[in-house]
Amino acid sequence: MSDAIAYSTIRELGARYRKRELSPVEVTRVLLARIEKLDPTLHAFVTLTADRALADARAAEELLRRGDDRPLLGIPVAHKDIYCTRGIRTTGGSALLADWIPEVESTCGRRWQDAGTVLLGKLITHEFAMGLQWPGHRFPPARNPWNVGHIPGGSSSGSGAALAAGLVHGATGSDTGGSIRGPAAFSGIVGLKPTYGRSSRAGVLTLSWTLDHTGPMARTVEDCALLMQPLAGHDPLDPASSRAPVDDYAAALGRDVRGVRVGVVRNYFFEGIDPEVERAFEEAMATLRRLGADVRDVQIPSLKATHSFLLILLAEAYAYHERDLREHPELYGDVLRERFQAGALVTGAEYVQAQRIRSEICRETAEVLQAVDVLATPTTPRPATSFTQAHDPDFGFPRSNMPPFNITGSPTLALPCGFSSSGLPLSLQLAGRPFEEATVLRMGHAYERATTWHTRRPPV
């Protein structure tokens, strides 16, 4: 019974609520017991809000009795621990904020709360949502439910692990260089990085002002679409927030994908790729062709200059953390402190040149997206890294397939497309034109319905 509830989709849970087969309180109790059993191994949660969850569930139960038909009513969720939660500890994964209790709620948190979700707690993040969680951090790293010796991705690591293990039905993530899509890829779930400015960042700890995105993570594309709906829309508290019209994301999912033009970006994304990842990706493209999509190769030449991403990230991260680095350097992890301080060495000229390169990448990507509707790549060049390799000081910043779409701000979806011979998830990445999340979700949903990868469950 626990597994059946834990791995239900949001639509399935809602239908059972309204048939009186399940109640939000019953589901919440099942998940709290599951967290108590599994999380001592997985370390997905940094703060569990059991009392709040049961109160939310009781309130949802009463609203269901009154006929409230909101799709997220009574759905158990949790937030990455860089999302401010009023009256609930928000650590940012750092000793600097280990006991901080905000007086404000993030806009995303408030919007999910207003939609009737049940808050189970806060999920571990890599320190200040940056890179990897190195040994010596204030909090233990989350572990991958498919193999606890491997990372679940970063920095929304707790979100990925909790969803894969059936501890929550939805989670927030943030994505500066892939931290929604990386955990989705490594944990075998679905993650949506919306268009820059589509989902508010107000009340979310900053890493890089011009690269940060907020968005939903779930186990299916439809769940992501349902979770994305209340997050989308203008927020005056976020200076980058857009007033662009918001689509009905779930309504677009069932539409045919015949004739949709899919561009496979062959340069950059296939450099150093694992053969099993490449094979799974090509099989995914074959599936899209069978569904009637027009799959063709495309090129974005300027992607060879993606080092601009790292210059922008480090300079902006240092600017945000400058005062705390000066006043409390001992409260930062050693590796993270050194990387943030490296941002002080980025000159104004280098930062401007990086932004100029970024503009060229954006221009070329936009031109390609006039000829195709969606871009397709492997989400990551290889399966999840082991902790042994990830904690090697020489591991550094591995090349990633995800930052190009932070540079462009394009809506980008990661979803399962296979498994390695060692049983680790593999992932497909789909990107689209600005504010065309509905198209990206529609294509991902069509692929998901034609395959069974998303139905597999980890051994934990």
Residues with catalytic annotation? 80, 155, 179
**Phi, psi values for residue 249, rounded to 5°:** -70, -40
Q: Are residues 409 and 201 in contact, defined by beta-carbon separation less than 8 angstroms?
A: no
Sequence length of the chain is 460
Beta partners for residue 171, in sequence order: 78, 217
Beta partners for residue 77, in sequence order: 119, 170
Beta partners for residue 193, in sequence order: 412
Residue 356, SS3?
helix
Rounded to whole angstroms, how far apart are CA atoms 143 and 38? 11
Rounded to whole angstroms, how far apart are CA atoms 137 and 359? 36
Report which DSSP code applies to 177. Answer: S
Burial class from Cβ neighbours inside 10 Å (0-12, 13-18, 19+) for residue 345 reads exposed
- Pair of tokens at residue 320: 């945000």
Helix intervals (H) in 334-410: 334-342, 348-371, 387-390, 404-408
End-to-end CA distance of the chain: 16
Positive or negative torsion for Cα 9, 15, 18, 21: negative
Rounded to whole angstroms, how far apart are CA atoms 220 and 162? 14
Cα–Cα distance list, 16 to 116, 145, 210, 383 (Å)? 16, 27, 42, 36
Q: Are residues 172 and 201 in contact, defined by beta-carbon separation less than 8 angstroms?
A: no
Cα–Cα distance list, 213 to 5, 159, 181 (Å)? 30, 15, 11
Q: Are residues 188 and 416 in contact, defined by beta-carbon separation less than 8 angstroms?
A: yes
Q: Is the peptide bond between 157 and the residue preceding it cis, with omega within 30 degrees of 0?
A: no
Residue 129, SS3?
helix
Nearest to 325 by CA among 311, 309, 312, 343: 343
- Pair of tokens at residue 30: 């099942």
